[in-house]
Structure 1
Amino acid sequence: MSLNPVSFDRPLAHEPRLSAPYVPGKRDKRFWTDAECDIIRRYFPLGGAAACLLRLPDHRTPQGVYCQAKKLGVKIQGAPSARQRHRATPELDERIRDGWRQMDAGRKGAVAELADRLNIPRWWLTKRMTVLGLTLRHKKEPRWTAAEDALMREVPLHRPDLAARVFREHGFRRSPMAIVVRAKRLDLSRRASRPDLSATKAASILGVDSKYVTGRILTGELPARKT
């Protein structure tokens, strides 16, 4: 008795080609041609990506133009050859301190004007002033008083803008957002004044989960209406 070898390899069925057949001399449009590279070399230094896009095919994007210009080593005329680094020196720090003492720190644009006088970027000046401790202390809102908490139970919390107006009439300056946050911390409902309770409020009174109340509403055991 002889044993014959058996192959378990399955024959591969011929599948149709999914990609387009290769055509000699034809390239995909995502590749840059020599003519497009010449456009970048000629127009990018003077007009940037905008000037190149006017002469390139529609599928080219500004990001693609910038990337290709970087690969070709083409730069806009007037651009610095290398990034300028600003280093802090004792003399510069003293000039910054003198400028800080003289300027109105609360006025808008004062820091930008100082940066122009010192011939340094504004972002660098802001970071350096933070390191030197030349910053303004932000004014925090005062703590809530007992009188304000009592007034919170009288104002229409469902209208924060109107509640803020009532606070101003009583001599308190609170923003509508501050009133909303305070109502949440005091566990005050912001619904309009009416005897109805929300499902969450009813659950907190009964000492059960809000889903328990919602389930009883859906089954009809608890009367409820949508407001």
Structure 2
Amino acid sequence: MTDVHLPAPEREVSGIRALLDDNPIMGESRAGARRFWTGREEKLLREHYPQGGVSLCLQHLPGRSASSIYNRAGQLGLRKQDERGRITERQAWTSNDRIDAVILRTFQGNPDKGAVKRCAAAVNRPRWWVSKRAQQLGLVSPRFKEPEWSEAEREIIAEFAHRPVKTLRQMLASKGFRRSETAIIVKLKRLGADRTDPHNLNANQLATVMGVDRKTVASWIAKGWLKATRRQQSESDDFWKIHRRDIRRFIVDTIAAVDIRKVDKFWLVDLLTDREAA
């Protein structure tokens, strides 16, 4: 495992933005099935983030980058607070004379979408922020703006981010919130929401963590060993929906068909110790 120099404590005081720009990571980055957050990792995140923020969590979560820790903490509703109860670790985009000058040159020529994108890359800011800054500088007329997202709305789409956008829109509507599907997609991106379904895998995902190809998974389903449902009418195995408890039951009941040497051990331990999957 390769150690990466962590930022000094005063770096946190200067703002989370500097830390996320560096985006340090302890050890090797997680890839494949290991990119999924486990229950153990989330427990460590809940334990350490409120006290020490991203910097402290980097020490307890090897393989997780600063940005991935920050985004996951946001999805779980975690905040780092000081002694006075103020939130001290929030990403904020700022401007300066150089950035404003670049935006001014771009928007003086009635730019298209590509020009705005290049401008955003030049100033190292999101495209939406550049457009908003241009409005603040009086370079473009403000468009109709949707009402601010309420905390209740953010909680709904963060908790159920893995659901289809159409379903999210219906869920919001049932609570009295009217949002377009486009607005929901944009908000999910800005929140950095993890759209991976925590309770279900498709055939490709299961094949990856089991160390087999998806045809093998399809054969388990065809033989009735592994319970699965289709998310829509399709001949593609990608549309299989397989619940974690059914995967656990399959492994326990049909262990002879599973080559344990090929299974991702971290994922397997998390699955077998998950009470909800039991």
Same fold (TM over 0.5): no
TM-score, scaled to structure 1: 0.29
More helix by share: 2
- Comparing both chains, which one has the higher relative contact order based on Cα–Cα distances under 8 Å and sequence gaps of 6 or more? 2
Bigger radius of gyration: 1
TM-score, scaled to structure 2: 0.24
